[in-house]
Structure 1
Amino acid sequence: MEREPNLIISGASQRIVEEGVSLKVEIYKLEGGDGWSLEVVTEDGTSIVWGDLFDDDQAALEEAVTTIHKEGVAAFANGGSNVIPFKR
C-alpha cells in the first residue's frame, strides 16, 4: 500500500493585513509535486484557491500580494464577486 504524500507548507505563507482586514496567505505543495498551490483565507473562513500552480513559493507569494493590492480586500471578503459559495 502506497503512503499518502506529505503536504509541504512554505515558509513564505503569512498573514497580510490590508485595509484593516487580515488575510491568511497559504502556500503549499505535495511532497514530490511539481508546483506550489496558493490559497487566501479570509477572516470569516472563505477560501480562495488559484487554479494554476506556481514554479516556486516566492512566485506564489508575489501573485497573492499583487492581487490583494490590485483587487483590494473586497474581492476576497464577504463573498466578493469572484467567490462562489459552496452549496449546503
Structure 2
Amino acid sequence: MDIEPNLIISSASQRIVEDGVPFKVDIYKLEGGDGWSLEVVTEDGTSIVWDDLFDDDRAAFQEAVITIRKEGAVAFATGESNVIPFGR
C-alpha cells in the first residue's frame, strides 16, 4: 500500500482584506513536492487556483495580492473581468 504524502501549509497562508473585500490565501505543497500551489478563496467560498506552481511560498503570496489588486478586489471576488471561478 502506498503512503500518501503529507500536505505542507505555508506560513504565508493568511486572510487578507483588499478594498473591504475579504479573501483567504492558501499556499501549500505536497511533502517532497517541487512547488507551491496558490489558491484564493472568496467570502462566498469560490476557489480560484493558479495552474502554475511557485518556487517560493512568498512569491505565491505576492502573486495573489498583485492579481487581486490588478483585477480589482470586487471584480475578482465576483468573477467579473477575466477571472473564471470554479463552479460549486
Using the size of structure 2 for normalisation, the TM-score is 0.89
User: Residue deviations 1:13-34, cap 9 Å, x none?
Assistant: 0111011110000000001100
Determine whether 1:3 maps to 2:3.
yes
- Of stretches 76-85 and 27-36 in structure 1, the one that deviates more from structure 2 is 76-85
Could you tell me the percent identity over the aligned residues? 75
CA RMSD of aligned residues (A): 1.5
Runs of 4+ in 1 over 4 A off after TM superposition: none
Report the CA distance between 1:85 and its aligned residue: 4.3
1:70 corresponding residue in structure 2: 70
Structure 1: runs of 5+ lacking an equivalent: none
Report the CA distance between 1:84 and its aligned residue: 4.1
2:84 corresponding residue in structure 1: 83
Partner Cα distance (1:49, 1:75) in 2: 16
Using the size of structure 1 for normalisation, the TM-score is 0.89
Equivalences for residues 56-67 of structure 1 within 5 A: 56-67=56-67
